[in-house]
Amino acid sequence: MCKWVGRLSVALALLSAICFAGNTDIYEQATAGQEPVIGAPYFGTHFHRIVPYPGDKALLTRWPEAKIGAVRLWDSGTLWADIAAQPGQWNYDRMDAYVELAAAHNAAVLYTLGGTPRWASARPDETCAYGLGCAAEPVKMAHWEEYVRRVAQRYRGRIAMYELWNEPSFSDIARDRGRPGFYTGDVANMVEMARIARKVLDEVDPGAILSTPGFVSGPDRLDLFLAAGGKQYIQAVAYHFYAVNAGEFVQRVLEVRAIMKRHGLEGLPLWNTETGLEVYPSDQPLPPGVQNQTPAQAASLMAQFLVLGAATGLERFYYYAWDNGLSGMFSPAGVRQPAWDAYEKVQSWLLGARMSGCAAMPPNGVRCQGELAGQRFLIVWADKEAMYHIPVPSGQRAVAVEKLLSASQPITETYRFPQMLLASEPVRILFESKQ
């Protein structure tokens, strides 16, 4: 996980105000030309404990009632180092269980490659997120090829998407040198791993998609990877759109799409393969630069990101993570969090809907519009609580409003629409044609 790489800073706190102060509406810009119909594969997630670890007494996760159309295997005990802890020994038990569960619930699997076993690591004594050696490229690329080939052969027809790596840093970039992370090598080795992975997939499972690594906290790494030759081997672009507010979220989408266009890849799918909103216990010290939020605030922000991701044409959005202790839908003790209710509500708003753009509502509001089953709707919210005038589509009248965390209410003659008090909790407004 990214662990909030984009920590809150003065610059980020000012971003929303800057967006509204300038002449360019970044919400319109990010959604222009995008009119996606939102299907179940858009709603992806991660699971930590849906498959038990041997001897672990932690509360197991049940597959949720919410429609999960896609699952990303990360922090699931399915790293290269997990399935090949020793040379020549392969254990697919956990990975098999995940793949079988996903198939039983009609959820597509995205497998994130990487996590080098210490025995295969070019830097076996280097500290990494999961022990030693896992952030290095393999000491021999033949080890990597065998790993990719074995996985592709075993899961041919069951795993159709592969992500090259998780959140790499590159030693070619000054700020990345000597910094711990999920990958600490140079870009040339990452491109070589892309070449080998694509070659193996072409031989074993030609229809499988290989995406870029899931980059985070700086699109320059994506730019470097593509420029170094990585773009020859990938069929999708993956990015982790962590953000502190809606303005930053769409700004990151614009930055990534600009890089894709510069490399002639604007036609490829863009996936958000990881985003989470953390809520820290009141008795736990906060990481430097982090401002805590309540579970309801985090749920509202998650909903904003899901709506904006759909409207900006992100094909997939993998929330991190359904059962995470800080950003999950329910607590380790099994208590259902507001994020669960918010996730289900957004699904009811978006599944099957056609999105048709978003726009800023100065000074701090956002509106996104769409149509579901022939009925037009707006989803609106604001960074700061204030009264807003809601634009009514021509020839339409508002008939109901529904807040993210409460039930739908009809608009009656006593309701002072189109004036509405907005805050961070998104509201959906339903319209119908005037008689």
Q: pLDDT confidence of 208, banded at 50, 70, 90?
A: very high
pLDDT at 282: 83
pLDDT at 291: 82
> Domains of the chain by range and CATH?
10-355 (3.20.20.80), 361-433 (2.60.40)
pLDDT at 73: 98
Please tell me which residue, 281 or 354, carries the higher pLDDT value: 354
Compute how many other C-beta atoms are within 10 angstroms of the C-beta atom of residue 62.
11
Residue 280 in tokens: 């820290």
pLDDT in tens, 243-271: 999 999 999 999 999 999 999 999 999 99
Residue 102 in tokens: 């996903």
Using DSSP's 3-state secondary structure scheme, residue 162 falls into strand
Task: Report the number of secondary-structure helices (H) and strands (E) in the chain.
Answer: 10, 18
In the chain, what is the straight-line distance between the N-terminal and C-terminal CA atoms, in Å? Answer: 52
Q: Is the pLDDT of residue 22 over 60?
A: no
| Beta-bridge mates of residue 429 | 378, 401
* pTM exceeding the 0.95 threshold for the entire prediction: no
pLDDT in tens, 140-160: 999 999 999 999 999 999 999
Can you tell me the mean pLDDT for 55-59? 80
- Short-list 196, 183, 269, CA closest to 224: 183
Q: pLDDT confidence of 2, banded at 50, 70, 90?
A: very low
- The string of DSSP letters for 177-243 reads TT--SS--S-HHHHHHHHHHHHHHHHHH-TT-EEEPPBB-S-THHHHHHHHTTGGGS-SBEEE----
Q: Is the pLDDT of residue 5 over 60?
A: no
Specify the DSSP element, H or E, that contains 30. Answer: helix 26-31
Specify the DSSP element, H or E, that contains 83. Answer: helix 80-83
Could you give the percent of the chain with pLDDT greater than 70? 94
User: Letter for the amino acid at 178?
Assistant: G
10 Å CB burial of residue 104 (0-12, 13-18, 19+) is exposed
CB 252 within 8 A of CB 5: no
* CA atoms 173, 177, 182, 185: torsion sign: positive
Using DSSP's 3-state secondary structure scheme, residue 161 falls into strand
pLDDT at 4: 39
Q: pLDDT confidence of 16, banded at 50, 70, 90?
A: very low
Indicate the Cα dihedral angle 163, 166, 172, 178, nearest 10°. Answer: -160
CB 237 within 8 A of CB 211: yes
CA gap 207, 81 in Å, rounded: 26
Q: pLDDT confidence of 347, banded at 50, 70, 90?
A: very high
Among the residue ranges 127-141, 250-264, 285-299, the one predicted with the least confidence is 285-299
* Mean pLDDT (the chain, rounded): 92
Q: Is the pLDDT of residue 21 over 50?
A: no
Q: pLDDT confidence of 6, banded at 50, 70, 90?
A: very low
CA gap 294, 279 in Å, rounded: 6
pLDDT in tens, 370-392: 999 999 999 999 999 999 999 99
Q: pLDDT confidence of 234, banded at 50, 70, 90?
A: very high
